[in-house]
Structure 1
Amino acid sequence: MSSDAKSNQFSIADPPSDAISSIQFSPHAGSHKLVVSSWDKHAYIYELSQGKSCTQVAKFEHAAPVLDACFGEDDNVIYTAGLDMSVIRIDVSNGETQVMSTHTSGVKSVVYSKQHNILVSAAWDSTLHIHHGGVPGESDQRPAKIELPSKPHALDLSTTKLVVVMASRALYIYELSSLSQALKSSAGQSPAVLKTEPWQHRESSLKFMTRAVSCMPNDEGYATSSIEGRVAVEWFDPSNDSQARKYAFKCHRQPVDDVDVVYPVNSIAFHPIHGTFATGGGDGVVAIWDAVAKRRIRIYPKLASSIAGLSFSSDGKYLATAISPGFEDGKDELAEGTVGVYLRELGENEVKRKAK
């Protein structure tokens, strides 16, 4: 374990004006663009150039706070979701927007699979909406919905799987190919309610509310985190041998006056090349973990407020970190410097697994 200096980390000059709800590097090869969503009712696009500066290149106002955003089929398309109950497609090049679908409650999460051209949104009305990507109206494909047993807290997807974590410790894993086929079969039906069963039903290994989920880049499993300072690592393979490998561990705990204070783990992000992962907590700390060796590799200096989101660039060279007050201290106002986005240039071996 070691702690790094801040010399290879810098903050962007014009962050959102209110709490940040999500941050994501573009998954497309060669891109260093970021999409950031905020409670200030905007989605922002930033671009990192030459690893030294990150500038805002676009922002898009919404009718209500934006809770999540992701890139679409290329860097010119983003999808957003939020408290206006809508899932919106935005053409970054000209600012044109189209509503993909409307839920009956706030939309917590949105993810896009380029491999299957599927957009999935999860809302507090306890539904998933499944959409084909692309411009609405170009085909007769309409969004379909899946009814969930409880409110979804977070979504993530790998190349073949969609993981949905919900209240009451429920966790569903869907095969994206099955969702795609079911969506095609429902074409023309209105409203289309997909009866597709999850590939797997699971109960979360975490006893307290799940805050985040992130899938492994090798498509073998996922990690979840909770409000009670724990992370669980699990594998998709349902065999007994594979399931015996799953484990959970404590993290993001700080001693205060001889008392071990527990913080929520708000974000998890896997490195796209090394398979290690980063966690960000309400303690303002980012840590790097080796999922195989079950140990912490690195911990970075504490930041000014709670970690709101993490994302690695597609080439694995940069880590983006968003901070916002988590209000763990009971204060509900935003102090200066407590909302921000940091970019860290990673050394060659900085987040690499240590040799045995």
Structure 2
Amino acid sequence: MASNQFTLASPPTDAISALKFSPEPDSTRIVVSSWDKNVYVYDLRDENGQVGEGKLLQKFEHRAPVLDVCFGENENEIYTAGLDWDVRKIDLNTSQQTVISSHEAGVRNVVYSPEHKVIISGSWDSTLHVSRTDTGTTTDSLPAVIPLPSKPFSISLTATKLVVAMASRALHIYDLKALALLTAQSDSTSTNGNRVEVEPWQRRESSLKFMTRCVACMPGDTGYASSSIEGRVAVEWFDPSPESQARKYAFKCHRQTSDDGVDVVYPVNALAFHPVHGSFASGGGDGVVALWDGISKRRIRQYQKYPSSVAAVDFSASGKYLAIGVSPGFEDGKDDIPEGVVKIYVRELSETEAKGKGAK
């Protein structure tokens, strides 16, 4: 079966900042955050249960642009982060919005750990907030506040680890169990949570020479990939042994040759791992999405160029669908977004489409 692609109806009206599939295996629900100050909840299936243009289920307005969104314990619970400095929980059944924690600057990322029942946010105030989600109410447990050496640009987690990619090419890897324990020690008399100096499990310097744009963890809890503004991706493993560290590598991608023969380099804005095959997708400012086999160091395939910069990518929990958020990345120096250029494409993948060259 060849891949089948369609676009979702009722896309955002401004640039897409993030999109995420529901963590539930058979779900076709997806959430999208945008600079238009809204979070959108879609289902790929229409009223008749057919996968096609899908339908917009709900839309939640915020006070400022929303920079990230993720699902929580189930597909009826989402968390948002943005330029209003707040991390919010939204109950999709009741439409109730609750502020979980407030930073002192814009919040760039938010992730949820189902194994440890914590929500973790990274802000341009150079802190992480770690908040419990199983306490009944948000006032029962204030967040643990972890200072960072510089601003976080992207965060990603596995069942046991949290990877934080920051400015100055700094990268911290934290033990999630240790972070979850901090929330139980938060000072309930403090209005801003408990500021805690935490030693990372590992400190690393990015293998990439330029600013990190995105980091994504492997589904097998063994490592991560990171990308830069300068058209490169690095693949690394957690295991600190010399043998394992010798396996790390970086490669060039998302580059186009101009008509006069000049190599034009684009930022790699988005990365996502396939939950079954372990391959990963990259999306770039050149409007291209490529699938990579990180083990055999090969490109599996590259899709036809999209009409604008790729802002976000994600695989469904089953691995059957790949969602691609497309919106101008301002590589052309223009900051206005014409109507109709922001789109969400969804590819229904064949069984072998994202399988690596050496996979069985």
**TM-score normalised per structure 2:** 0.95
Do residues 47 (structure 1) and 49 (structure 2) align?
no
CA distance in 2, matches of 1:121, 1:355: 37
Q: Distance in 2 between matches of 1:139 and 1:153?
A: 28
Specify whether residues 194 and 141 from structure 1 end up closer, same or farther in structure 2 by C-alpha distance, changes over 3 A only.
same
Q: Per-residue deviation at 1:142?
A: 1.2
In 1, the alpha carbon distance for the partners of 2:171 and 2:189 equals 28
Aligned-pair CA distance for 1:183: 1.8
2:228 alignment counterpart: 226
1:12 aligns with 2:12: no
- Identify unmatched segments of 5+ residues in structure 2: none
200, 210, 214: which one aligns with 1:198: 200
Q: Any conservation in 2 of the 1:150–1:168 contact (CA below 8 Å)?
A: yes
Query: Equivalent residue for 2:278?
Result: 275
Report the number of matched residues. 352
Q: Is contact 2:100–2:138 with CA below 8 Å preserved after alignment?
A: no
Deviation per CA, 1:153-205, whole angstroms, max 9, x where unpaired?
Answer: 00100111100000001000001111111221335362411222110000000
Q: Partner letter of residue 295 of structure 1? A: R
Q: Quote the residue 2:302 is aligned against.
A: 299
Q: For 1:53-111, what per-residue CA distance to the aligned partner results, in whole angstroms no more than 9, with x for missing partners?
A: 32110010000000000001111110000000000011111110110111110000000
Distance 1:134 1:105 in 2: 26
Q: 1:286 & 1:138 partners in 2: Cα distance?
A: 39
Q: Note the alpha carbon deviations across 1:4-62, whole angstroms, 9 max, x for none.
A: 98x71011121001111000111122211101000010001001124333211001000
Q: CA deviation at 1:139?
A: 6.7
Query: Which residue matches 1:118?
Result: 118
User: 1:317 pairs with 310, 315, 320, which one?
Assistant: 320
Return the offset for 1:348: 1.0
- Percent of aligned positions with the same letter in both sequences? 59
RMSD: 1.5
Please give the alpha-carbon distance, in whole angstroms, between the structure 1 residues aligned to 2:135 and 2:286: 41
Deviation at 1:336, TM superposition (A): 3.6
CA contact (8 A) 1:70 1:111 kept: yes
- 1:235 corresponds, among 234, 237, 247, to 237
How big is each residue's C-alpha offset from its partner over 1:216-268, in whole Å with a ceiling of 9 and x where there is no partner? 00000000000000000000001100000000000000001210100000000
2 CA distance for matches of 1:163 and 1:189? 30
Shift in alpha-carbon separation, 1:189–1:172, aligned structure 2, 3 A: farther
Q: For structure 1, which runs of at least 5 residues remain unmatched after alignment?
A: none
Q: What's the CA shift for 1:355?
A: 3.5
Are the counterparts in 2 of residues 304 and 337 from structure 1 also a CA contact under 8 Å? no
Taking structure 1 as the reference length, the TM-score comes to 0.96
1:185 aligns to what SS in structure 2? coil
Q: Shift of residue 280 of structure 1?
A: 0.1
Amino acid at match of 2:61: E
Q: What secondary structure does 1:30 align onto?
A: coil
> Conserved in 2, the CA contact under 8 Å of 1:68 and 1:110?
yes
Match for 2:99: what amino acid?
A: V
Matched, 1:58 2:54: no
**Do the aligned partners of 1:140 and 1:187 also contact (CA within 8 Å) in 2?**
no
2:251 counterpart letter in structure 1 = F
Residue 27, structure 1, aligned to residue 19, structure 2? no
